[in-house]
């Protein structure tokens, strides 16, 4: 699998995170911070309205890595995240990963991970390290 990968390879998809997704994520994780749920409270913050959990946005890369590229059997080893702008519910996002480096000897692939809004503003950036499934 790793031998078919190349530096510069890109995979992406689009996703809208709904208010219901935020609700489910908050209850699943126990993060019921008012910033994500309470319109009146959020109006008093710098965001002015409820925002999506940053970790929910950061989790969107997993779909690409686990199902598409490298795909089934991949082990997600690490992920850094830098939250650049708030994401609001019902925003169309583009989730993008780009191969930055490949270490054949250790079976590791390093990715740039990014999420963009409809205005092509980078909302979140980071790096991921994965261990693709070894093919015998």
Is 27 part of any domain? no
Is 99 part of any domain? yes
Residue 71 CA to residue 73 CA, distance in Å, equals 6
Give the chain's domain count: 1
Tell me, what's the pLDDT at 66?
Answer: 94
Tell me, what's the pLDDT at 101?
Answer: 97
Q: How far is CA 65 from CA 47, 84, 88, in A?
A: 31, 22, 24
| CATH number of domain containing 82 | 3.10.129.10
Tell me, what's the pLDDT at 21?
Answer: 97
Sheet with 122-131, edge to edge strand ranges: 10-16, 92-103, 108-116, 122-131, 75-83
Residue 12's domain comprises 2-18+58-131
If you count them, how many residues does the chain have? Answer: 136
Tell me, what's the pLDDT at 3?
Answer: 87
Tell me, what's the pLDDT at 134?
Answer: 84
Is 102 part of any domain? yes
Task: For the chain, 136 residues long, give each residue's pLDDT as a single digit of tens.
Answer: 788 999 999 999 999 999 999 999 999 999 999 999 999 999 999 999 999 999 999 999 999 999 999 999 999 999 999 999 999 999 999 999 999 999 999 999 999 999 999 999 999 999 999 999 987 6
Is 31 part of any domain? no
Cβ–Cβ under 8 Å, residues 77 and 129 = yes
Tell me, what's the pLDDT at 1?
Answer: 79
Tell me, what's the pLDDT at 42?
Answer: 95
Is 23 part of any domain? no
Is 6 part of any domain? yes
């Amino acid at each position: 699998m790793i031998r078919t990968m190349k530096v510069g390879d890109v995979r992406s998809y689009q996703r809208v995170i709904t208010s219901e997704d935020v609700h489910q994520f908050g209850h699943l994780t126990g993060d019921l911070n008012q910033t994500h749920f309470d319109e009146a409270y959020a109006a008093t913050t710098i965001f002015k309205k409820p925002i999506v959990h940053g970790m929910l946005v950061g989790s969107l890369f997993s779909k690409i890595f686990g199902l598409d590229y490298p795909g089934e059997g991949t082990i997600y080893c690490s992920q850094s995240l830098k939250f650049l702008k708030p994401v609001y519910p019902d925003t169309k996002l583009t989730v993008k990963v780009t191969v930055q480096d490949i270490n054949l000897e250790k079976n590791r692939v390093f990715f740039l991970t990014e999420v963009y809004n409809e205005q092509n503003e980078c909302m979140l950036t980071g790096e991921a390290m994965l261990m693709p499934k070894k093919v015998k």
